[in-house]
């Protein structure tokens, strides 16, 4: 029996990382929003690794924050260790990474959701979507409650027809032995949405008291206080260490002796898994020439003995998992607290999406997160934020927010999903961004906070802080560009000699002097030539000066990119009329229906010759 339960503008299905960002964004933009979850106790759940950030992912988190999202603020509250990785490399690939207290992360996110105006939380399983005249109009729960709405964001993670696999033990379930969502998949299929099947996995969790850390290498956090959010206070928190160990030839032999019991190799697992986060048994088989693989033992919180074995994702039988663990240095007497498992689930091939993350054939229906074929909390949260923003803009009858590849890692992520053929869970990598020197984690607010303000997601407090920072940055840049040293400046000459830097032959600005590799902003502070700068201002000045030439080159590349992006393709184009297109290109262009020549050029199966043919066709149309 279906009954009328309420009327909302936006309904979000699923309260993982994507769902939380989507619901908060829609509510903060003034839409009456309902967030539905299968379990109130598992909001913002971290079913896999207890960490946020890393290469490319840290950039996503900073961009979420710059636009007015929540993930960065939340991990700053819940972190138990934070450090900068890739410090020996350039700024384009340096990244923050934080270990999280999983329970604290959940509690802080729940607190934020409950305090948010315009947002209601409901524990319910959505089983059906109501579509009228090609537009979503309501969602219906398992208990028959009908919630009328104008937009829906599905962020179901790995719950759609979830199936847990541990050796020959197989049962229906979601992450962490939760209930799966069994009927929503059928509703999507009934409405003409294609579904696929993917697989992911997680390692066993072990008891801290059964680990011999003396046989491992300690991995401490950074001494200085770090933060993901541009708005978080810089607070030095007690840091918990992670620990490095390695698998052994004995470990690998145990896997090979039991490979006939591994679901990955017996045909039990049908879904495709992530290539960049393979199961341990897959690594042993694929890299048989290796005697050892790195394994990181990571704490799951301040007040738990559970530790996560990073690098040991597995669906091997439980008895084999125990044997494998005990063959690893430091884990000889290990006790398991949770068994590792694989999970298969339904996903929506993202070629069915617009760049706004709206389903092409159903107006007002958006999908975000692992349902779109991605892996990772950060990728999910980034999509959730964009989908929530665009759901709210849809309700307000405003133009969608489309982030381009040259503007953000979020733009790279979504552009790849929509235009590439995704045949495995997608993970964002730094190398996927061709303009990565422009899309650093340190300048995310400079790139995106004005956009967040324009759409109504950046509040007054953040906007005022951003403007103060920009004023200080401009004043400091001017200071370095207008001041200079001459060869006669004795203090500067002594300083350069001490630094092993070439003496001055002509007058040089502070800005140009800073371009020398051995000179840093901190040198100017130590010499009392300038007042001590805020850490983020100093970082910006240093990067902008030292990489000025490289940045200028990438900006020139962006101009060429924008020419193609600005060349729009009419929505009504009939690709069957375009003579000379390869058959594969024609099929892919029909499926994706790109909005610009730039987007068309990035579609899998469309080559430069096809782009030339399409360009000539459009030019003839324009002239006619």
Phi-psi region of 605 (alpha: psi -120 to 50; beta: other; left: phi over 0): left
Residue 103, pLDDT above cutoff 90:
yes
Predicted pLDDT of residue 466: 97
Residue 563, pLDDT above cutoff 90:
no
Residue 462, in any domain of the structure: no
pLDDT digits (tens, 9 = 90+) for 201-229: 999 999 999 999 999 999 999 988 999 99
Phi–psi pair at 483, nearest 5 degrees: -85, 150
Q: DSSP label at 14? A: -
The helix/strand/coil state of 316 is coil
Look at 23-32, 156-165, 421-430 and tell me which has the smallest mean pLDDT: 421-430
Tell me the residue range of the domain where 246 lies: 205-341
Give dist(CA 172, CA 162) in Å, integer. 6
pLDDT digits (tens, 9 = 90+) for 256-312: 999 999 988 888 877 777 776 788 999 999 998 999 999 999 999 999 999 999 999
Q: What is the CATH number of the domain that holds 609?
A: 1.10.150.570
What residues are paired with 338 via a beta bridge? 205
385 closest CA partner among 5, 41, 8, 18? 18
Residue 591, pLDDT above cutoff 90:
no
Q: What is the CATH number of the domain that holds 250?
A: 2.40.30.260
Predicted pLDDT of residue 515: 95
Task: For residue 448, count CB atoms less than 10 angstroms from its CB and return exposed for 0-12, middle for 13-18, buried for 19 or more.
Answer: buried
pLDDT digits (tens, 9 = 90+) for 454-492: 999 999 999 999 999 999 999 999 999 999 999 999 999
The rounded percent of the chain whose pLDDT value lies above 70 is 100
In the structure, what pLDDT confidence band is assigned to residue 143 with cuts at 50, 70 and 90? very high
Q: Encoding tokens for residue 99?
A: 């270990």
* Helices 71-78 & 57-67 angle (0-180, nearest 10): 110
Same domain, 537 and 578: no
pLDDT digits (tens, 9 = 90+) for 27-47: 999 999 999 999 999 999 999
Same domain, 20 and 112: yes
Task: For residue 262, count CB atoms less than 10 angstroms from its CB and return exposed for 0-12, middle for 13-18, buried for 19 or more.
Answer: buried
pLDDT digits (tens, 9 = 90+) for 245-254: 999 999 999 9
Residue with tokens 């000889």: 332
Q: Report, as an integer, the average pLDDT of 543-550.
A: 93
Helices (H), 420-547: 444-455, 460-482, 490-499, 510-513, 521-526, 535-546
Predicted pLDDT of residue 409: 97
Q: What is the CATH number of the domain that holds 24?
A: 3.50.50.60
Predicted pLDDT of residue 270: 75
Same domain, 391 and 265: no
Q: How far is CA 516 from CA 194, 503, 527, 540, in A?
A: 55, 12, 17, 16
Residue 479, in any domain of the structure: no
Sequence-distant (≥ 6) Cβ neighbours of residue 554 within 8 angstroms? 435, 437, 438
Centroid of chain to Cα 420: 17
Predicted pLDDT of residue 271: 72
Mean pLDDT of the chain: 94
507 closest CA partner among 484, 530, 539? 484
Predicted pLDDT of residue 272: 75
Predicted pLDDT of residue 516: 95
Of 341, 359, 378, which one is at a domain's C-terminal end? 341
387 closest CA partner among 57, 26, 65, 137? 26
Same domain, 56 and 185: yes
Give dist(CA 247, CA 245) in Å, integer. 7
Residue 116, in any domain of the structure: yes
Q: Are 185 and 161 in contact (CB under 8 A)?
A: yes
Residue that wins the pLDDT comparison between 363 and 560: 363
Element at 410 (helix H, strand E): helix 409-419
Residue 264, in any domain of the structure: yes
Predicted pLDDT of residue 528: 94
Q: What is the CATH number of the domain that holds 541?
A: 1.10.10.1800
Residue 579, pLDDT above cutoff 90:
no
Same domain, 446 and 532: no
Sequence-distant (≥ 6) Cβ neighbours of residue 38 within 8 angstroms? 14, 123, 125, 159, 174, 178, 179, 181
Predicted pLDDT of residue 615: 85
Residue 557, in any domain of the structure: no
Residue 493, pLDDT above cutoff 90:
yes
Q: DSSP label at 504? A: P
Number of domains into which the chain is organized: 4
Q: Encoding tokens for residue 262?
A: 């591994």
Q: Are 65 and 459 in contact (CB under 8 A)?
A: no
Give the length of the chain. Answer: 624
Q: Checking DSSP bridges between strand 33-37 and strand 119-123, what pairing results, if any?
A: parallel
Burial readout 349-380 (b: 16 or more C-beta within 10 A, e: otherwise): bbbbbbbbbbbeebebbbbbbbbbbbbbbbbb
Residue 25, pLDDT above cutoff 80:
yes
Residue 540, pLDDT above cutoff 80:
yes
Give dist(CA 188, CA 517) in Å, integer. 56
Residue 517, pLDDT above cutoff 80:
yes
Element at 63 (helix H, strand E): helix 57-67
Predicted pLDDT of residue 226: 94
Residue 117, in any domain of the structure: yes
CB atoms within 10 A of CB 528: 9
Q: Encoding tokens for residue 518?
A: 């051995």
Sequence-distant (≥ 6) Cβ neighbours of residue 223 within 8 angstroms? none
Q: Report, as an integer, the average pLDDT of 480-507.
A: 94
Same domain, 257 and 335: yes
Residue 571, pLDDT above cutoff 90:
no
Residue 506, in any domain of the structure: yes
Same domain, 162 and 51: yes
Same domain, 320 and 356: no
Q: What is the pTM of this model?
A: 0.94
Task: For residue 403, count CB atoms less than 10 angstroms from its CB and return exposed for 0-12, middle for 13-18, buried for 19 or more.
Answer: buried
In the structure, what pLDDT confidence band is assigned to residue 87 with cuts at 50, 70 and 90? confident
Same domain, 26 and 104: yes
Predicted pLDDT of residue 277: 76
Radius of gyration of the chain (CA): 26
Predicted pLDDT of residue 564: 82
Sheet of 79-85: strand order equals 51-53, 95-100, 79-85
Same domain, 134 and 211: no
Of 493, 513, 548, which one is at a domain's C-terminal end? 548
The helix/strand/coil state of 249 is helix
Residue 93, in any domain of the structure: yes
Q: Are 128 and 45 in contact (CB under 8 A)?
A: no
Q: Report, as an integer, the average pLDDT of 176-197.
A: 94
Same domain, 255 and 307: yes
DSSP string, 526-577: HTTSSPPPPHHHHHHHHHHHHTHHHHHHHHHHHHHHHHHHHSB--TT--GGG
Q: Report, as an integer, the average pLDDT of 515-529.
A: 94
Q: Report, as an integer, the average pLDDT of 121-135.
A: 97
Of 548, 583, 598, which one is at a domain's C-terminal end? 548
Same domain, 87 and 183: yes
């Amino acid at each position: 029996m279906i009954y009328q339960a309420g009327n909302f503008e936006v309904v979000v299905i699923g309260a993982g990382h994507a769902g939380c960002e989507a619901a908060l964004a829609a509510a903060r933009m003034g839409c009456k929003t309902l967030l539905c979850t299968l379990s109130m106790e598992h909001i913002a759940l971290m079913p896999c690794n207890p960490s946020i950030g890393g290469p490319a992912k840290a950039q996503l988190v900073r961009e979420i924050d710059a636009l007015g999202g929540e993930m960065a603020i939340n991990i700053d509250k819940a972190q138990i260790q934070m450090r900068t990785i890739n410090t020996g490399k350039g700024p384009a690939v340096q990244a923050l990474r934080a270990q999280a207290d999983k329970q604290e992360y959940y509690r802080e996110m729940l607190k934020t959701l409950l305090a948010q105006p315009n947002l209601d939380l409901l524990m319910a399983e959505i089983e059906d979507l109501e579509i009228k005249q090609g537009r979503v109009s309501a969602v219906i729960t398992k208990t028959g409650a009908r919630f009328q709405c104008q937009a829906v964001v599905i962020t179901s993670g790995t719950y759609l027809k979830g199936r847990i696999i541990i050796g020959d033990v197989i049962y229906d379930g979601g992450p962490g032995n939760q209930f799966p969502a069994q009927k929503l998949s059928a509703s999507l299929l009934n409405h003409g949405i294609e579904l696929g099947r993917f697989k992911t996995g997680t390692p066993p969790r072990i008891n801290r008291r059964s680990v011999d850390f003396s046989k491992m290498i300690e991995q401490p956090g950074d001494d200085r206080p770090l933060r993901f959010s541009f708005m978080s206070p810089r607070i030095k928190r007690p840091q918990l260490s992670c620990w490095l160990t390695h698998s052994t030839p004995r470990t690998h032999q145990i896997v090979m002796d039991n490979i006939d019991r591994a679901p990955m190799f017996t045909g039990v697992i049908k879904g495709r898994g992530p290539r960049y986060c393979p199961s341990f048994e897959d690594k042993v088989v694929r890299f048989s020439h290796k005697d050892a693989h790195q394994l990181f033992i990571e704490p799951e919180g301040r007040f738990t003995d559970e530790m996560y074995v990073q690098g040991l994702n597995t669906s091997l039988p439980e008895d084999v998992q125990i044997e494998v663990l005990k063959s690893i240095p430091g884990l000889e007497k290990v006790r398991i607290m949770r068994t590792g498992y694989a999970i298969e689930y339904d996903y929506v091939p993202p070629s069915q999406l617009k760049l706004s993350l709206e389903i092409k054939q159903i107006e007002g229906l958006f999908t975000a997160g692992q349902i779109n074929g991605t892996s990772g909390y950060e990728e999910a949260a980034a999509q959730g934020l964009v989908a929530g923003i665009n759901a709210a803009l849809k309700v307000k009858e405003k133009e969608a927010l489309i982030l381009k590849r040259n503007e953000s890692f979020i733009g790279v992520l979504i552009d790849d999903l929509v235009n590439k053929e995704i045949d495995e869970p997608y993970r964002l990598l730094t190398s996927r961004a061709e303009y990565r020197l422009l899309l650093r984690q340190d300048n995310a607010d400079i790139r995106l906070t004005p956009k967040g303000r324009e759409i109504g997601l950046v509040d007054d407090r953040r906007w005022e802080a951003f403007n103060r920072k920009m004023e200080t940055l401009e004043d400091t840049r001017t200071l370095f560009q207008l001041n200079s040293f001459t060869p006669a400046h004795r203090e500067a000459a002594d300083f350069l000699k001490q630094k092993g830097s070439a003496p001055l032959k002509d007058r040089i600005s502070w800005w140009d002097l800073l371009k020398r590799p051995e000179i840093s902003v901190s040198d100017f502070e130590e010499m009392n030539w300038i007042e001590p700068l805020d850490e983020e201002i100093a970082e910006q000045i240093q990067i902008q000066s030292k990489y000025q030439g490289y940045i200028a080159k990438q900006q020139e590349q962006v101009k060429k990119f924008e020419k193609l992006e600005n060349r729009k393709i009419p929505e009504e184009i009939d690709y069957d009329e375009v003579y000379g297109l390869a058959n594969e290109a024609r099929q892919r262009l029909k499926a994706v229906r790109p909005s610009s020549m730039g987007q068309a050029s990035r579609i899998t199966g469309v080559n430069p010759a096809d782009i030339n043919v399409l360009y000539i066709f459009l030019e003839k149309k324009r002239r006619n």
